[in-house]
Amino acid sequence: MRSDEEVIKELEEASYRFAKTMPENPHFYTLSKTWGSSEGFHDAVMLILRLGEVEIYKGWEYVCFHHHGFKYWTMDKERETVLINRKTVV
Query: 36-46, pLDDT tens digit by residue?
Result: 888 999 999 99
Helix or strand or coil: residue 3? coil
43 phi and psi angles, rounded to 5 deg:
-60, -40
Residue 55, SS3 per DSSP: strand
Distance CA 84, CA 52 (A): 13
In this structure, are residues 29 and 86 in contact, taking their beta carbons and an 8 Å threshold? yes
Mean pLDDT of the chain: 93
Report the pLDDT value the prediction gives residue 10, as an integer from 0 to 100.
Answer: 96
pLDDT in tens, 64-87: 999 999 999 998 766 678 999 999
